[in-house]
Amino acid sequence: MIFAGAHLLSLIAALQAAEPTYRRVLPGVIQGRGADGTRIGTSTWLVNLGASSASFEFGFLPVSNASAPPAQARVLGPGETLRLNNVLQDLYGLSEGEGALFVRGDQPFELRGVNANVANPPGASGPGASGPGANGFQSSELLGPDASGHAIWLANRAEPNPEFRTDITAVLTAPNTAVTVSVYDATGALRGIEVVSSKEPAIWRASASQFLPDPEIPLGRVTFAVTAGEATGFLSVSGSAAGTGLVVQPERIVTATPEGANLLLNGVTAATDLRLFNPNETEQEITLEALGFPGGPATIHRMTVAPNGLLEIRGVLGAVGFVIPEGAVGALRLRAPLPFLAAGRGLPMAVSSEIGFATPNQPVTLVGLNESVNQPGVRSRIALLAGTRGAIGLLRLRNSRGVPIATSPIRLEANEWQGRAIGAWFPDAEIPPDARVDIELENGSAHGYGEIVDNVTQSRVVVAAAAVPTVAPATPTARRLVFSALPSSLTAETPFAATIQALRADNSVDTGFTGSVDLRVASGPGAFQAAVTVSQTAVAGNVSFRDLRLTVPGLYTFTALGAGLESAVSEPFEVAPVPTPSPTVIRLGTFASQNGYLAEGTLQIERAPNGSETLKLNRNFRVSGGAGAVTVWLARGSGALNTSTSVRVGTMTRVFAGEFTYPIPAPGSSAFTHVIVYCDAFRINFGAAPLRNP
Amino acid sequence: MSKPILGLIILLPAIGAAQSGWTRTHGTGYSRFSFSTLGSSSFYTPFGNKISSARYRDFTGSLYSEYGITDDWTASVNFPFLRNHRLDSTSSLTAVGDAVVGIRRRLVRGKTPLALAVDFGLPVGDSQGTVSIRDLPDGTFRLPTGDGEFNTRVSLYTSRAFREGKSVVSGGGGYNFRTRGFTDEFSYTASYGQRLSRSVSISATLTGLEPARAANASRAVGFGVGEGVAFLGIGGEAQYRINKRHSVSAAYYKPLRGKNLLAGGVLVFGFGIAF
């Protein structure tokens, strides 16, 4: 049966689209009346792991045709824990309901839920008094298109009031999602399949007994294969057998490294049942190594799993031959040449290698911890398994507001396991309700998990550690600005670029710097053209100013200014004037003496780009001039100058040799054929230069 | 002796009196006031070709005197006491001209006397005279009344009278030693005089000037400095003796060819006094 939640569509769409919104899905939340008068409800703990306050929006997708209630929002301060004893009732006032809880927030957060008897008094005896608990799925754990997840703990008996029964739930978290739900038995035989699709977010749930033609599958698994959209799922295992309350989430098969596949299960006891799934087409041997158990060096045993086979080992430690002291708790490291999956009943999800371990760079946290000796009540334990290099660090106890209140040092040898009640970790502190414990390491690595134990039923809920968003290491920030690129010489009116970098104290570029930088003329005769933007925002510590122009030639320096940064002053550089376009020589001439007087040398007439013309008498020019002024004319011939048809362009009064430059009045020289040097007083030519083209 | 482009103006007025082989009798003398005028719109270029030019006008008043120190020595002086000249494109300038002081020594007596004359040119004229050019705001033009140099001319003259003194022929040549970079010059003259009556006489003169060498290029930079001047001119004069002491004359001289010389003729009126 599939139940769609159109009203949740907008929230889910936002959950998917609004980055960097963080989101989690907690499937299997419930509110209702259980057997024997118990009331089953889902308690949740939401911890704001971010550095600032954030609003968290809760949406509920019911497993029914009931309409989804309006989303609810809660604001949490940084590090604050929000505990909702009965999430559906507390948020939506629902007295009955079951479905999936979608939460989004602007800060990273951890969401944990547990289904329990919430009747008054809580913790009343009876099956399911302390039901399955789970950490919310992170968005990255959701299955996208072409992704498959395998929930390898399906146990279902066909008889009434069975020892085991399993409900299969697929949560379609995105519109237009299609997921194929396949059930296999221990041999890998397909026992049932259902293709579930919906245009809207929806929940599909089926009892294995109803869904499967042959529901007798005491050892089976379910594969959720998403072909479109996004989905997840889970198995709810329950039954008359004690300790059957179990929520099993699908896991992806991790590609083996060249060294093979490596999984670790923490919290293993003598009572731990283990399942191994070999998804390969070949049989493979899986090595089991006991870690952290007291009593000497670890021992290794091997199990062979058939192709596509599923193997369950009840009481794994004893079954395979480990000799473990009574009551001892430790871990199992599983290795195989090819990928495989493993799950332990009631254990945190198996982790690959040491991924998920706390490390110096990645603290983890356990949330929603309580410590009480009362009945009803719960107590909490924290267990750690050191990695291959041991672990040195501390546990940091925080209250529900995120305030640190105590620490406990950690010093573990390689592969050492330690598990204690939370009060034992912090003997001098009073454990606050809904506490949080961070595992912070200086060296090595450690895998940690928590256990919530019901004081009445002694049933336990495993709390997996969640990664704490790490604030980037306090890398030094920019201290000063420098000019990293600036032309050494410029020409006025020519665009140029300047690049400025924000440097740390060690002169490295602060790639995180995104502040605003102003560029100004520190000294110089001019300023930037008004149209130029001289304030820019840095990108990765670099600021580039383009299309800068200076109009006034001269010697300049620039300065770059940024808030809180030491300003930069450029080296002086010269802005050269715009080169005057070279005039074009349009006429040439050579003087010849006239009338017995000296006139010699050459001339040229130049035309500037603006059309104006200039007569230039060159350095070799010389004319008789001792008697007085000599004038220079543009004439239409070389004969006796006709002043009415000629144009006088210049006069020599004292110097009569060398270079002379005379502007030629408009319309220029084109109408004339000669340049004449002329004695105005006596009205005779001293010389003439016929004009010719270059 | 000043004889730049305007050479004939200054040179000619004294020709008839001084350029002969005779010397004045001891204790006698002769003076003449002359007024000359020249107008010219053409010009002989340094190459000798004649071209049109701005019109030049000159008016000069001169006093020429000679005196017989002895029968064989005659002293003379010529002083242009007033010169006013201008181009029609310029303003005018009025100043004195260069004076000439000379001594003449009779070397040979007889019907065909020969005399040696030494004349000293005194630069008392305005050698820096400048006029403004009317159409050229900052334009000026050198229009001097003297060449600014001392020079010495050494000449030999001879003469012969015919027909009882009614006809006279004179001729001579000289060499002008110039200073201040000006080129030396040769000069020559030949004249014929005819007494038509007791009161009237006429004469004709051929005179010339040639530089001894090629003109100094560094000095040949313009008008008025008399460098590179050459000419061959002719002239005629008529003289009327009012009485034994006084006479008047009129003469006209004109270059036939020339270089760096105004092409116009000179008209001279004179009033002579013998004593």
What ipTM was assigned to the predicted interfaces of this complex? Answer: 0.84
The proportion of chain A whose per-residue pLDDT surpasses 70, expressed as a percent, equals: 87
pLDDT in tens, A596-621: 788 999 999 999 988 899 999 999 99
Contact A164, A237 (CB under 8 A): yes
Q: Name which residue leads in pLDDT, A616 or A68.
A: A616
What pLDDT shows up at residue B217?
A: 58
C-alpha torsion sign, points B80, B84, B86, B88: negative
Nearest to B46 among A597, A631, A653 (CB): A597
What pLDDT shows up at residue B167?
A: 92
Which residues in chain A are closer than 8 Å to B130, comparing Cβ atoms?
628
Rounded to 5°, the CA angle A599-B223-B187 comes to 115
Which residues in chain B are closer than 8 Å to A631, comparing Cβ atoms?
136, 139
Q: Is the Cβ pair A626, B51 closer than 8 Å? A: no
Buried residues in B99-134 as b, exposed as e (16+ CB within 10 A):
bbebbbebeeeeeebbbbbebebbbbbbbebbbbbe
pLDDT at A369 over 70: yes
Q: Name which residue leads in pLDDT, A644 or A272.
A: A644
pLDDT in tens, A520-557: 888 888 777 654 557 788 888 888 888 888 888 888 88
pLDDT at A296 over 60: no
What pLDDT shows up at residue B105?
A: 95
Q: Is the Cβ pair A627, B259 closer than 8 Å? A: no
What is the average pLDDT across A463-482?
72
Of the candidates A599, A689, A646, A658, the residue with the CA atom closest to the CA atom of residue B222: A599
Of the candidates A265, A468, A266, the residue with the CA atom closest to the CA atom of residue A358: A468
Least confident of A75-89, A567-581, B68-82: A567-581
- A654 in contact with B at a CB cutoff of 8 Å? no
Least confident of A350-364, A542-556, B59-73: A350-364
pLDDT at A312 over 60: yes
Rounded to 5°, the CA angle B173-B174-B180 comes to 155
pLDDT at B149 over 90: no
What pLDDT shows up at residue A11?
A: 47
Mean pLDDT over the full length of chain A:
81
pLDDT at A356 over 70: no
CA dihedral of B38, B41, B44, B50, whole degrees rounded to 10: -140
pLDDT at A40 over 60: yes
Among B128, B133, B142, B262, the strongest candidate for a mutation testing the A interface, having the largest count of A CBs within 10 A, is B133
Q: Name which residue leads in pLDDT, B140 or A352.
A: B140
The proportion of chain B whose per-residue pLDDT surpasses 90, expressed as a percent, equals: 62
Q: How far is CA B124 from CA B1, B14, B146, B147, B181, in A?
A: 10, 18, 7, 9, 18
pLDDT at A38 over 80: no
Tokens for B89?
């494109």
Contact A247, A151 (CB under 8 A): no
Confidence of residue A8 (pLDDT cuts 50, 70, 90): very low
What is the average pLDDT across A563-573?
82
Q: Which residue of A has its CA nearest to B40?
A: A682
Among B44, B53, B218, the strongest candidate for a mutation testing the A interface, having the largest count of A CBs within 10 A, is B53
Beta-carbon pairs below 8 A across chains A and B: 85
pLDDT at B5 over 60: no
- B218 in contact with A at a CB cutoff of 8 Å? no
- B83 in contact with A at a CB cutoff of 8 Å? no
Rank A1-15, A483-497, B64-78 by mean pLDDT and report only the highest. Answer: B64-78
What pLDDT shows up at residue A157?
A: 85
What pLDDT shows up at residue B221?
A: 42
Q: Is the Cβ pair A680, B224 closer than 8 Å? A: no
pLDDT at A474 over 90: no
What pLDDT shows up at residue A267?
A: 79
Q: Which helix (H) or strand (E) holds B158?
A: strand B151-162
pTM, rounded to two decimals: 0.49
pLDDT in tens, A431-449: 999 999 999 988 888 888 8
What is the average pLDDT across B212-237?
73
What pLDDT shows up at residue B85?
A: 92
What pLDDT shows up at residue A215?
A: 86
What pLDDT shows up at residue A142?
A: 78
Beta strands in A455-596 (DSSP E): 460-464, 466-467, 480-485, 489-491, 496-503, 516-523, 535-537, 542-548, 554-562, 568-569, 573-576, 584-590, 592-593
Q: Is the Cβ pair B54, A683 closer than 8 Å? A: yes
Q: Is the Cβ pair B259, A681 closer than 8 Å? A: no
Confidence of residue A123 (pLDDT cuts 50, 70, 90): very low
- d(CA A176, CA A172) in angstroms, rounded, equals 9
pLDDT at B238 over 90: yes
Confidence of residue A6 (pLDDT cuts 50, 70, 90): very low
What pLDDT shows up at residue A112?
A: 82
Tokens for A70?
């309006």
Alpha helices in A359-421 (DSSP H): none
Confidence of residue A135 (pLDDT cuts 50, 70, 90): low
Mean pLDDT over the full length of chain B:
86
